[in-house]
Amino acid sequence: MQIGLIGLGKMGMQLSLNLMDSGHEVTAYDVNAEAAAALSASGGIGVRSLEELVRRLSAPRKIWMMVPAGDVTEQVLRQLKPLLGPGDIVMDGGNSNYKDSIRRAEELAAAGIRFLDIGTSGGTEGARSGICAMVGGDAQTYREVEPLLRGISVAYGLLHAGPAGSGHFLKMIHNGIEYGMMQAIAEGFEILDKSPFEFDYEQVARVWNNGSVIRSWLMDLTERAFSKDPGLSRLKDVVHASGEGKWTVETALDYGAAAPVIALSLMTRYRSQDEHSFSGKVVAALRNEFGGHAVVAAED
């Protein structure tokens, strides 16, 4: 099947190769001309503009966007919309906020353009060899692109989740769970690291990943990380967050859902981003006031 792809970054390029492996014909555009050229070299058709991309596809066009969520996605959609016609299908495979996806589905529908929000998971490895795809939008539209989606997903890793927004909603919650799972694993190793035992963390991760209740892809990755850097001495303990975790907590607040572990996992990341904690200083100052407790002076 013919597909147009916008965005040949880390994920988009791997997805293109994956789609071509499944026998689909990929025409792709990226702001970076070199990326488009690299795709051409790999058997796809790299193009130089959105106009060219649209022109080369037969109607009803099937276009997959794989660009950064937020402003970039918004801007690309604004440029793309006037180029498309009734019946064309736009799939947003990025990490867009589900509320934006609901709004975009409506805005495009007004012009007869069909929209699917597709939450994807699996990392860059998955993009190449098989992702997990959660799809929101109209059922008939879903069926029309299902062959494409099957081509890039692992078996059972494809779901038509529900109406517009539900795909990105599921992806968002997936990431919230991911934050919690990662933090749980990290805390386990934190305790091991402070214990008097001298564990080999790579071996620990390996044994935990084989036969145990906590075996998981994240534990597999833990093993890999320790195999490369046994004490993680080459890394800083600064953890960034790309949006979905925050949205998950905001959504929990909106619906009055208790999600303490996910909220805490997010806030632990925030804490990690500050070299100094102002709240820590306030508590230290208070202890000093009432108890004359020794305080570590900043110049120490």
Q: Which of residues 131-160 bind its own copies (CB under 8 A)?
A: 131-134, 153-159
Report the residue number, 10 or 103, with the smaller CB distance to its own copies.
10
Q: Which is nearer to its own copies, 51 or 289 (CB)?
A: 289
Residue 109 touches its own copies, criterion: CB under 8 A: no
If one asks whether residue 59 binds its own copies (CB under 8 A), the answer comes out as no
Main-chain phi, psi angles of 235, to 5 degrees? -115, 150
Q: Does 27 bind its own copies (CB under 8 A)?
A: no
Q: Sign (positive/negative) of CA torsion 277, 278, 279, 284? A: positive
Quick one: DSSP state of residue 292? -
Under rule CB under 8 A, residue 246 binds its own copies: yes
Assess whether 171 carries a catalytic annotation: yes
Residues in the interface with its own copies (CB under 8 A) total: 135
* Window 155 to 214, contacts with its own copies (CB under 8 A): 155-159, 161-163, 165-166, 169-170, 173-174, 176-195, 197-199, 203-204, 206-214
Taking the CB of residue 265, how many other CB atoms lie within 10 A of it? Answer: 26
- Count CA within 13 A, CB hemisphere, residue 268: 14
Closer Cβ to its own copies, 110 or 191, answer by number? 191
Q: Which stretch binds its own copies (CB under 8 A): 43-51, 60-68, 69-77, 274-282?
A: 274-282
* C-beta of 76 vs 131, nearer to its own copies: 131
283 CB neighbour count, 10 Å cutoff:
10
Q: Vertex 140, ends 137 and 144: CA angle to 5°? A: 100
113: left (phi over 0), alpha (psi -120 to 50) or beta: beta
Q: Which residues pair with 131 in a beta bridge?
A: 153
In terms of CB distance, is 61 or 171 closer to its own copies?
Answer: 171
Out of 62, 171, 236, 246, which one is annotated catalytic?
171
Q: Please, are residues 26 and 49 in contact by the beta-carbon 8 Å criterion?
A: no
Would you count residue 235 as binding its own copies (CB under 8 A)?
yes
Q: Give the catalytic positions in this structure.
A: 171
